[in-house]
Amino acid sequence: MNELLEILEKFSHKKIAIIGDIILDKYIYGEVDRISPEAPVPIVKVTREKYVPGGAANVALNINALGGQAYLLGTVGEDVHKKILFDILTENNLSSSHILTDPQKGTTQKTRVIALNQQLLRIDHEDTSYLESHFEKQILANITSLPELDAIIISDYAKGTITQQLMQKLTTYCQQKELPLLVDPKPKHMRWYQNVFLITPNRKEASQMSHLELANKQQIETAGLKLQQELNTRLIITTGKDGMSVFGENHPLHIPTAAREVYDVSGAGDTVVATVALAISAGASLEEAALLANQAAGIKVGKLGTASVSKQELAEKLGE
């Protein structure tokens, strides 16, 4: 663990750009004690509402919490959700100055209604059409205007920010600059991720991309090696309660989960890609980066409410 602590110490001020789908997650909590007279549905009496940045914005928050310097790029709409999101980003010392406003599309928002300790309904505001090319150009121009970066993360939730053209340009740019390009992928766009530094699919995404089942270690290895070949990239396949599997220059490495208690697994994938990007920027091997990310994800899933893992928390866990 000592080597990992040394790597963690080097996270400070590493500059990471996150390009992707910016999402505003809204949670409405309430109580149900009667059925509506208007339709056979429960009436939720709202007790609390909460907004949390999601998607690429959550990856950026994770970078900052771990001591790095995040630059968030993507688009939002010209609406009230944009203001709510920007206020939360500001509160978290995350600049919104590189985020573009696309009045045509609106801000992507996912609203969950929760009562009786369960989710009753999810309401999505989204327009998944691809960005127009002038926005792509602006994103690329913004990237080149940033201070010298240590890595770029693509956080692709298939909401339209990541286009084939943008992926192509970024892959070439990162090759020229010798910058690691890490992708949290969506199977739909798998061909676009050829030749990137790393992709971090979860089990289901890896299964859809490889057309294989990933039920045991053997199957995970077969699928991982197939994707590694086909896409000419490294992979970390995250496998939920089973941890993760690493496919780089060495023989595949399977790492069991570091989680002791599990309360909330959503966003664990964002924690993984953020930690790996910082670790690689700090000079870690892919295996070391995965070991660190696995520890960070273990902390994340054990927490209720907060989405990010701090550098301090990760250092304490490594010191145990």
User: Annotated active-site positions, please?
Assistant: 270
By beta-carbon proximity to ligand ATP, the closer residue of 18 and 143 is 18
By beta-carbon proximity to ligand ATP, the closer residue of 22 and 179 is 22
Distance CA 227, CA 198 (A): 11
Of these partners, ligand ATP, Mg ion, none, which one is at the site of residue 109 (CB under 5 to 8 Å by kind)?
Answer: none
By beta-carbon proximity to ligand ATP, the closer residue of 44 and 61 is 61
Q: How far is Cα of residue 154 from the mean position of the Cα atoms in its chain? A: 8
Contact 299, 32 (CB under 8 A): no
The CB density around residue 35, as the number of other CB atoms within 10 Å, is: 11
Q: Calculate the CA dihedral of residues 67, 69, 73, 79 and round it to 10 degrees.
A: 70
Distance CA 264, CA 272 (A): 15
> Taking the complex as a whole, how short is the minimal distance between the CB of residue 267 and ligand ATP, in angstroms?
5
The tokens describing 60, both together, are: 């950026």
> Taking the complex as a whole, how short is the minimal distance between the CB of residue 153 and ligand ATP, in angstroms?
13
Residues that bind ligand ATP (CB under 6 A): 202, 238-241, 243-244, 257, 259, 262, 265-270, 272, 294, 297-298, 301
**HEC string for 130-177:** CCCHHHHHHHHHHHHHCCCCCEEEEECCCCCCCCHHHHHHHHHHHHHH
Of these partners, ligand ATP, Mg ion, none, which one is at the site of residue 44 (CB under 5 to 8 Å by kind)?
Answer: none
Contact 102, 70 (CB under 8 A): no
> Taking the complex as a whole, how short is the minimal distance between the CB of residue 43 and ligand ATP, in angstroms?
30
By beta-carbon proximity to Mg ion, the closer residue of 115 and 258 is 258
The interface region with Mg ion, picked from 88-96, 136-144, 242-250, 264-272 by CB under 5 A, is 264-272
Of these partners, Mg ion, ligand ATP, none, which one is at the site of residue 268 (CB under 5 to 8 Å by kind)?
Answer: ligand ATP
> Taking the complex as a whole, how short is the minimal distance between the CB of residue 78 and ligand ATP, in angstroms?
28
Q: Quick check: 269 binds Mg ion (CB under 5 A)?
A: yes
Report the relative pairing of strands 118-125 and 108-115 from DSSP bridges.
antiparallel
Binding site for Mg ion (CB under 5 A): 269
